[in-house]
Structure 1
Amino acid sequence: MAEIAHRQVMSSLFRQARPQALQAGKRLSHPHRTIATAAAPNEVDDTRPTLPSWRPHTIPADPEPSPKRRRIDALRNDPSPKSFSSFLTDNYSREHNYLRISVTERCNLRCLYCMPEEGIQLSPPEHNLTTSEIVYLSELFVKQGVNKIRLTGGEPTVRKDIVSLMQQIGQLRSHGLKELCITTNGISLHRKLDSMVESGLTGVNLSLDTLDPFQFTIMTRRNGYDAVMKSINRILEMNKVGAGIKLKINCVVMKGLNEREVIPFVELGREKDIEVRFIEYMPFDGNKWSENKMVSYDEMLALIRSKYPDVHRVQDHVNDTSKTYKVPGFAGRIGFITSMTHNFCGTCNRLRITSDGNLKVCLFGNTEVSLRDILRESNEGKPFDLEAMEALRQLESDRREGLPGSTGAFGVSERETKLLDVIGMAVKRKEEKHAGIGDLENMKNRPMILIGG
C-alpha cells in the first residue's frame, strides 16, 4: 500500500509540474529520478534513476537474447533449468511469447475493413471474459514465458474498467511481463492515457487511415478525427517529458479510398518521432474484400520511392510483423505489414484470445478452442467474478501446499494443467504458414472486430 501511495503522489507531482515545463520548453524528469538519491536504499530500486522513462512500473531488463538462446523456467515450482515452455512452442520451433487479448467486442467506429456495414451481433455479456478471468489467463501465459501482452478489441478504451484491468495485468511484471500495449482507434484514448501510463502502458498502436477529416467520416462511418489527433498529440507531448510510449500508427491502404495519402503519412514523420505502418487490406467476414481493392507492399514502396528515392530498409527485430524503412533526415520511420503478399509466418510469436475466451493460434486460421469453458467448469459454467476468483486461487494455493485435494503435475492445479494441455495441443496444430490470397478470400473466419486487432 505504501508503494501504491508513493506512486500516486509522484504522479500527482509530475502532472502539476508538466504544464510549466512544457510552456518553458524544458524536459521534465520523472519524480522517481528526482527523489531516488534522497530515498533510503531499501525504499527505491537504485537502478531506476538510470532509466530514460518516467513510468513508475518500468523495470530494467537485460538485453533481449535471441529466440534460440532465450531460457526460462518453463513450469512453476520446477527449479531445474528448462527451455522455453513446450506448451507455447509449436512444431516449427516458434516460441510464442506475445499474447493479444481482446477485451470487448464493442467499438465506437464502423471501419470499412473491420466491421460489416450492418454491424455485428454482440455476444451475451455472460459469454465474454470477466476482468478476473482475463487477469487469471494473463498470469497463466506470463508464467509460461509470455513477456508481451497487447489489449485489443473491438475498441478496448470503451471497456469501463480498462484502466483497472491494465493495473492488474501490469503487476505481472514480477513474473516476467516486459511490455503492456494497447491497440486503439484513439477516439477516447486521450481521456485515459495518463492513468494508463501510470498503470504500466508501454506502447500504443493507433489505427488511422486518413489525414482528411471528411475522408475519415467515410472510412469509419463516424465522426471523431479531431479526437484521434488529440490522442496522438497527447502521446507526443508526454514523450517530450519522458513518458517513453512507443507510438505506431496503423494505416490500412485501399484503392480508390486512401492510396493517395501514402506520401502525406510518410511526411507525418518528418519532424515527429512516429512510426507509420501501411497494412495490406486483408479479407475477413463481412468486409467485402477483393484483390482489386488491395494496394500491395511493392506498389506502396514504389509510390514512396517516386518522391523519396533514398528511402531504405532498416534492421527489424526477428519477430517484427513490419518491414521497416526510413527516409534520411526524417525523425520517424515507416513500415509495411505484408500479410497478403509477403507473409512473415516463419517468425510468428503471437497468440490471440478473443473476448469470448477462445484461443486463436493464427489470425487467418478458423480453428479455435475455448479456454473460458475450461476455466468455468468448477463454477458451474458461470462467469468468475472477483470473489469467486479469489476463492479459486485460495483453493489452488491450498492444494499446492499439500492440503487435502489433488494437484496436477509440476505443482500446478488440475485446472491449470488442463488449460495448459489444451493450449499446448492448439499451438502444436498451428500451421507452418497461413493460406494464400486465393484461399483466404473464400475461407470462413470471424469479422475482424470479433477477433481483436
Structure 2
Amino acid sequence: MPEHPDFTPSPNLLTTQEAIRLITIFQSAGVTKLRLTGGEPLMRQDLPEIAQAAVDLNLAVSLTTNGVLLSRRLPALLRAGVSGINLSLDSLCPHTFSLLTRRPPQVHERVLSALHDAVTEPSLSVKLNVVVMSPHNHLTLPDFVRLTESHPLSVRFIEYMPFAGNRWKHASFVPYSEMLRSITHHYGPLSAVATHPNDTAKYFRVPGFQGTIGFISSMSAPFCAGCNRIRVTADGALKTCLFGEHEVSLRDIMRQGASDEQVLETIRRALHDKHFALGGKGDMFGIAAGDNRSMVRIGG
C-alpha cells in the first residue's frame, strides 16, 4: 500500500451500467473470462450485480481481493455465480502484514478467516497471491507452501514489480529461480503441473500435497508472448499491458455517445498498437523509471 494512495473521485468511476456495458462489448468480441480486481473491488456495493450480469453472459467470473471484507460479502458473490477467488496476502505474520498493508495487525486474523471461508467452499477455486520481497517475507515461503498440504489451494509467489508509490528497489527483488531453490531445499523435488500456454504462472506440487504452488516471473522470465489479458481500470481506462503507461479512456468515449461498435473499434486499435513485451519498457529497470499508475489504481 502506498503511503499516500491517490483515490479516484466517485464521479470518475465507471457506473454500474457502464461497467456492464463494457463487459457485454468484450463478451461480444470473444472474451470468456472476467476478473474483478481493484484497488479493492469489494468496496463497490454493486459488485454482485456486475458479477451476475457477467455470469448471465456465460462468462467465468472470478475476484481478486485483499480479503478484509470477503467473509461478509462471500454469500452474495456465490449467489451471483462467482467461481474463483484470488486472495492477496503477503505475510503470515501479523506484524509484517501491518507494515506492508498499513492496517492494524488484528485485520490479519480477519483475512486468514476469509481465506478459510473461501477454501472450505466447494464451488470456489481459490488462489493465494504472495508478492515476495526481501527482507519482509522471502524466508517464509515454506510456511506458505504448507498451506497447500491439506487444502486444494493454489499459492502463487509473485516477483516484486515496480509501480508508482510502492518503493520498489532491486535489493528487495527475489527472482523466481531463488524462490524455487528455497522451496525445493525445504521440501525436496517438486512435481511439475501441466499449464496452458496462456497461463501466467508456472505450477508445481509438493508430492502428497492437495494444492499447488505457482511462480509468476513477470520480471525475470516474462510470459508476454502468451499473454491474452486486457485491463480496464475502475475509471474506465483501457490498459493493454500492466506495465505500459499508455491508456485509452473507454469511459469518456461512452459518455460522449459512442456506439458499441465504436467502443469496440477503439479497443481493437489499442490492441493493434500494443508493445510486444513489458509495455515497451525493456526490463524491470525501464519499468521503474517510467510513470505508470500505482498498482492500487490499476488492479491485480
TMscore range, shorter length: over 0.9
Structure 1 Cα separation of the partners of residues 29 and 292 of structure 2: 28
Q: What TM-score, normalized by structure 2, do the two folds share?
A: 0.96
* 1:251 aligned residue: 130
Q: Secondary structure at the match of 1:286?
A: coil
Amino acid at match of 2:168: W
Which one of the candidate residues 114, 117, 124 is aligned to 1:234?
117
- How many residue pairs end up in the alignment? 295
Corresponding residue of 2:180: 301
**How far did 1:281 drift?**
0.4
1:367 alignment counterpart: 246
Give 1:146-165 correspondences, 5 Å limit. Answer: 146-165=31-50
- Name stretches of at least 5 consecutive residues in structure 2 with no aligned partner: none
2:82 maps to 1:201: yes
Structure 1 residue 165: deviation in Å? 2.1
Which residue number corresponds to residue 418 of structure 1?
A: 262
Does 2:185 align with 1:338?
no
**Match 1:180 to one of 61, 69, 73:** 61
Q: What does residue 92 of structure 2 align with?
A: 211
Matches of residues 94-109 of structure 1 in structure 2 within 5 Å? none
State how 1:89-128 maps to structure 2 within 5 Å: 111=1, 116-120=2-6, 122-128=7-13
Question: 1:312 offset after TM fit, Å?
Answer: 2.8
Structure 1 residue 438 displacement after superposition:
2.3
Q: Is 2:271 the counterpart of 1:427? A: yes
Cα displacement (A) at 1:357: 0.7
Quote the Cα distance in structure 2 between the aligned partners of 1:236 and 1:449.
Answer: 25
Give the match's secondary structure for 1:258: coil
Q: Distance in 1 between matches of 2:75 and 2:262?
A: 38
Structure 1 residue aligned with 2:283: 436
User: What code does the residue aligned with 2:92 have?
Assistant: L
Q: Which of the pair has more CA radius of gyration?
A: 1
1:222 aligns with one of 93, 100, 103: 103
Question: What's the CA shift string for 1:247-302, capped at 9, x where partnerless?
Answer: 00000010011111101001111111111000000000111111110111011001
- Identify which range, 199-208 or 222-231, moves more after superposition: 222-231
The alpha-carbon deviation at position 237 of structure 1 amounts to 2.3
TM-score (norm 1): 0.64
Query: Residue 190 of structure 1 corresponds to which residue in structure 2?
Result: 71
TM-superposed deviation, 1:195: 1.5
Q: Tell me, in whole angstroms, the C-alpha distance in 2 between the residues paired with 1:124 and 1:259.
A: 36
Structure 1 stretches (4+) deviating beyond 4 angstroms?
none
Q: Does 1:269 align with 2:148?
A: yes
Q: Distance in 1 between matches of 2:93 and 2:181?
A: 23
Does the alignment pair 1:170 with 2:51? no
In structure 1, C-alpha distance between the alignment counterparts of 2:164 and 2:221, rounded to whole Å: 22
Q: What's the C-alpha RMSD, in Å, of the aligned pairs?
A: 1.1
Q: Distance in 2 between matches of 1:255 and 1:200?
A: 38
**Letter of the 2:294 counterpart:** P
AA partner of residue 272 (structure 2): K
Partner Cα distance (2:46, 2:242) in 1: 26
